[in-house]
Amino acid sequence: MSEALLEIRGLTVGFDVPGGRLPAVAGIDLTLGKGEILALVGESGSGKSALSMSLVGLNRGPRTHIGGEVLFGGRDLVGAGEKELREVRGKDIAVVFQDALAALNPTQRVGDQVAEMIRTHRRISKRNASKRAEELLGEVGIANPGQAARAYPHQLSGGMRQRVMIAIGLANDPAVLIADEPTTALDVTIQAQVLRLLKRLQRDHGTTIVLITHDLGVVAEVADRVAVMYAGRIIEQGTRDEVLFDPQHPYTMGLLSSVPRVDGPAVSRLPAIAGSPLTGVARPDGCAFAPRCTFVHEACQKQTPPLQRRYAGEAHLDACVLDEAGRARARGALEEVAQ
């Protein structure tokens, strides 16, 4: 991996809910390299959004408890004050959400919204900011940026709005762009265009991108590295090829086993694995996936297996106590099911 840009250490996010504190993020260590695209995958509720929002304190509040460290440019963003964070947000680390319609201001022209983001972080005249906003709309692939700039969000298509969100994210040429399901609401053609755009950003601007997705097809297409989340933890992590072609954790194997191969039809949503993930406040000892795992044995229930290198390549980590023979059996069994 290239030079470290952002280092997440022991990150936890707990939400106070009726009945206790929900451990949405239960201790994550992750380093983002400069210019890489990291895909964060996992079922609904695994903590992907809670993790990404906590990086820049977007989910801070009286009922949210964020712990651990997020080191960026020599400072810790978890401990940073709101004023300091406001500077980081949008300027150094930008977040693009899935639901562009909800994130945009319905009463303001989109060009003005992009320009405003530029002016929040830079001393630049209104006129120049508007000019730059139009340029940005062009850069994200909007065919008639002048016209789009004057439109209100509801006058644009879903794909256009998503591009506007990305333009806002890029307004200040951030070092890190966190894109939370940026293509989910879009049809396949537009989705491919947005992904190509992210890839281009990485190439031309060296932007580090965290791409949150349910879609393993998206992962295969654009990711350099993959982190698989389950119940608030990363249970497997490695290069794209390591995770997709040599999965180590039965959960990852399960996700992949029902995805058709490249020559099959393009079905790529995360397939259902029998049972449902832990979502309550109580987290019994042991591996969180154990209740759903076909290959569970006694050791799985004793303690939470740490994420570490076990039987695969140097940077390929997993949190499963199965030994090498057990993994081979698991892989074999799942391949059989897939046929």
Ligand X SMILES: Nc1ncnc2c1ncn2[C@@H]1O[C@H](COP(=O)(O)OP(=O)(O)OP(=O)(O)O)[C@@H](O)[C@H]1O
Whole-number minimum distance, CB 317 to ligand X, in Å? 20
24 binds, among ligand X, Mg ion, none (CB under 5 to 8 A by kind): ligand X
Least Å from the CB of residue 273 to Mg ion: 18
Neighbouring-strand partners of residue 26? 12
Of residues 49 and 257, the one with the C-beta less far from ligand X: 49
Residues 6+ apart with CB under 8 A from 43: 214, 230, 270, 273, 277
Q: How far is the CB of 27 from ligand X (least distance, A)?
A: 14
Counting Cα atoms < 13 Å in the Cβ hemisphere of 143 gives 4
Q: In angstroms, give the least distance from the CB of 177 to ligand X.
A: 17
Min dist. Cβ of residue 95 to ligand X (A): 13
The count of C-alpha atoms lying within 13 angstroms of the C-alpha of 56, restricted to the half-sphere facing its C-beta, is 20
Which of the choices Mg ion, ligand X, none does residue 42 contact, using the CB cut-off of 5 to 8 A by kind? Answer: ligand X
17 binds, among ligand X, Mg ion, none (CB under 5 to 8 A by kind): ligand X
Tell the smallest beta-carbon distance from residue 142 to ligand X (Å). Answer: 26
Closest separation between CB of residue 14 and ligand X, Å? Answer: 9
CB-nearer residue toward ligand X: 134 or 181: 181
Which lies closer to ligand X via its Cβ, residue 165 or residue 321? 165
Residue 276 near which of Mg ion, ligand X, none (CB within 5-8 Å, type-dependent): none
Q: Considering only residues 26 through 65, tell me which ones interact with Mg ion, judged by CB under 5 A.
A: 48-49
Residue number, 49 or 64, with CB nearest to Mg ion: 49
Q: Report the nearest approach of ligand X to the CB of residue 278 (Å).
A: 9
Task: Tell which residue, 149, 86, 97, 164, has the closest CA to residue 121.
Answer: 86
8 A C-beta contact, residue 209 and residue 179: yes
- Measured torsion, CA atoms of residues 265, 178, 187, 150, in degrees rounded to the nearest 10: -160
Q: Which is nearer to Mg ion, 48 or 109 (CB)?
A: 48
Nearer to ligand X, 49 or 252 (CB): 49
**Cβ closer to ligand X: 42 or 68?**
42
Task: Kindly list the residues in this chain that would bind ligand X in the complex (CB under 6 A).
Answer: 15, 17, 22, 24, 42, 44-50, 279
Query: Nearest CA to 4 among 36, 51, 28, 49?
Result: 36
Contacted entry of Mg ion, ligand X, none for residue 50, CB cut-off 5 to 8 Å set by kind: ligand X
Rank residues 103 and 124 by Cβ distance to Mg ion and give the closer one. Answer: 103
Residues that bind Mg ion (CB under 5 A): 48-49
